Structure 1
Amino acid sequence: MDTQLTESAVATASGTPFVPGPILLVGPPGVGKGTQAKVIMSAWHVPQISTGDLLRGNVSAGTELGLLAKQVMGRGELVSDDLVNRMVAVRLREPDCVQGFVLDGFPRTIGQAAWLDTFLERECHTLPVVAIQLKVDYTHLVRRVTGRRNCPTCGSIYNVYLQPPKTDELCDLDGTPLQRRSDDTEEVFAERLRSYEAQTEPVVAHYRAMNRLADLDGDQPVDAVTAGVLAAVKRLRGR
């Protein structure tokens, strides 16, 4: 990441720190949300709020909410929106969220989005959510997902289409045969994409209707996507 880009993202034209507020990154599996979330966290010094991490953390710590979630999952059921919302509420009241945060995996449904908007307005008195939707062509997404390989020995990550090893299916560093996750197939990805679109399209429409969503081409070089994300957040905040 270009140092000048990061520094320019932190300050406004007046030289005062920019307050990013709540940021939602939207996009299908494999679109690069994780990479861009890390950049936002570094540029504006805000935390990432992951519902998966919150759920695991509460269960591991044996909190009241964690015990309730463990019972639900033990019955083979999905954790309800209400329970997830309560975990998110506890996390968003922490002091490191005052200047903003990056949302990961939440809100997934229109019900969660409506709850979040109300919570932020009534309890946190913070800026509203702005959403950035990363868009990548289906064919390219499939190549990103099905081409992923990892070295079980050193942990190096490759993509046979986009970042292949020097020797087919072997790690460049130690020659270990590369592995592919069992769910990195087009069939599994297509099903995940259908599920994502059914759940998330109403959330996208919700924030678009309020002029709080920007669409970005996620198939550009990483630095170009990053520049677009940071600029879009500022634009949506009126800066």
Structure 2
Amino acid sequence: MLAVCGLLLAGCSGVGDGGHRAGPSASSAAASSPAAQRETGAATARLTVDPARVPTTPAAALDLVRAVTAGPDGYGPGYVKRPPYQSDPADWPVLGADCVWRQESLPDDVLATFTRYSRLPAAGAKGEVRTAATVTLHRTVAQADWEMAETLEEALRCPDQQLRTTERIIGLNSMGSGYGTNGNTSADDYLIEMGTYDNPALGKGSTYYIWNQVRLGPVTIAVVVEGGKGFDQSDLLTVQARAVAGMETKVRSELGAQK
């Protein structure tokens, strides 16, 4: 995972201050990603799991995603719970045609989804970092594949997005990497999005916004990192990669996974 982040960091110079990512465009990345291959029915899972350990009911699925979703200890020293610490499992975020995020009811193809919110409090010259980890279990691999593709398409459709009343993402760019490309050797599919983040609660001026999402069979894992004045982009990418890798390990363990 860190190898992928290193490649993307080199290819994303300027994203942090509102510039555009160099290298392959999000559209070309989407075209080559396994997520985009949904049109041909080519969604695959390199992850071999024990079918008896894959939940088939919403209740069992919720138990699984709760067990693997990262809390403060998933990011490193100093992180604490951020209220509200846990999401309502009945909610599903949807990006509207107006590029504003809203909560809607859980779609039929999702067995369960769960989010935990954490933060690194401001200290000295360093500003507060806010994080969120989300794990979603879909009913099928193909449906999880759709979620990855839609996430890529959202950044193309809405490079500027309204998160909440006073929180905005600006200049969002995406890159997708299938297994074996750009250093991705751990997940069936991988994507990362970067932009700038404006939130008056964290002070004046923009900070970094980084979203990382991976797919392991029917499971998607996502971590967002927001803010952190005074932090290098590489520091935040390392924190994010640590949380994603930890959740990948837990998913593999819970599902009896083998490559």
TM-score category, normalised to shorter length = under 0.3
TM-score normalised to structure 1 length? 0.24
* Structure (1/2) with the larger strand percentage: 2
Structure number with bigger Rg: 1
Relative to its length, the structure with more helix (as a share) is 1
